[in-house]
Structure 1
């Protein structure tokens, strides 16, 4: 059975939201909520990485932690490992093949700073285009301010209102 044409990919409570390479910040909130609804531990696994059972190994006087061999796993270890695979599966199901091989959309601190600089520049230089509706213009501006907020650089509502009033054409 084919999905209805108006059902966008990922707009389901039984499938993870689909990331198509655009609006990462929006998708991140949606996938967070999806994983939390499935099992609140899944988001912790995404943030902290999968569980790897460890054991102590002595090398003379030195003791170190090393990964435990699979044959020494107990039932609790297996359950935690399964949760890690569940988190990974849901994330992989939420991205397309084009996104699968990309490393990160948030990136390192340097990448974040670069994105913040780029978004700030886009915000400062933002103008309403000729023939553009107010709704379309505001949607684009909101997208920029929402991304800035997701990187920890919120723009107050009063500054956004002043920005909108400043960029409106004279006939408004």
Structure 2
């Protein structure tokens, strides 16, 4: 993967990495590491969704789980809910205004993460299609007569895109 020529922010352990619309693969790895360093439970919330306190409700002989009323939250429930908001805040702090406009309606960090992943990587079918396209481009790629090696490689610009597509598929 090609590294960005100019990062918008410095390498900080206290600020989340910034997604500027480019180099999503780099941002995704850096954001994962940032969230894990902050608290591994925050990363789990991003993957699994927010914690919803539940209570057992009896209806005759049957019992079922239902969301707990806010008035019955204990301290442990409140702490877990806070981590969900912290995960969302850290993700939102790591994106630019264009991305924020697209995700501002989402209520959880998981929804934001999934949206960004789908937007920048595509669904599995799109990823596989891109790889097939790049593979066939490489298979038919040849050096033309009277062409230098430098010219040959500059005539085939999608190499960084191919590498990023392959990394996204394996991730």
- Normalised TM-score (structure 2): 0.69
Structure 1 residue 68 corresponds to structure 2 residue 68: yes
Shift in Å, 1:13 = 1.9
* Structure 1 residue 123: Cα displacement: 4.7
Instruction: Give yes or no for the alignment of 1:116 onto 2:134.
Output: no
Tell me the CA shift for residue 143 of structure 1.
Answer: 4.5
* C-alpha contact 1:32 1:43 (8 A) present in aligned 2: yes
CA contact (8 A) 1:42 1:84 kept: yes
Offset, 1:46: 0.5
| Higher RCO structure (Cα 8 Å, ≥6 apart) | 2
Partners in 1 of 2:123 and 2:80 — Cα distance?
A: 32
Q: What is the root-mean-square deviation in Å for CA atoms of aligned residues? A: 3.3
Q: What is the CA distance between 1:122 and its match in structure 2?
A: 3.1
**Do the aligned residues in 2 keep the contact of 1:21 with 1:99 (CA within 8 Å)?**
yes
Whole-Å separation in 2 of the counterparts to 1:52 and 1:97 = 29
28 and 59 in structure 1: CA distance in 2 versus 1, 3 angstrom threshold: same
The 5-angstrom pairing of residues 11-22 of structure 1 reads: 11-22=11-22
Alpha-carbon distance in structure 2 between the residues aligned to 1:10 and 1:54:
42
**Pair 1:24–1:83, CA change in 2 (3 A):** same
Matched residues in 1 for 2:41 and 2:54: separation? 20
1:164 is aligned to: none
8 Å contact from structure 1 (residues 18, 27) kept in 2: yes
> Which one of the candidate residues 137, 140, 151 is aligned to 1:125?
137
Q: Partner of 1:106 in structure 2?
A: 117
**Structure 1 residue runs without a partner (length 5+):** 1-5, 154-172
Structure 2 spans left out of the alignment, 5+ residues:
1-5, 104-113
Task: Single out whichever of 30-39 and 9-18 deviates more from structure 2.
Answer: 9-18
Secondary structure at the aligned position of 1:14 is classed as coil
Q: Give the TM-score normalised by the residue count of structure 1.
A: 0.68
* Between 110-119 and 57-66, the greater mean CA deviation after superposition: 110-119
Aligned length: 145
Q: Offset of 1:125 from its aligned partner?
A: 2.0
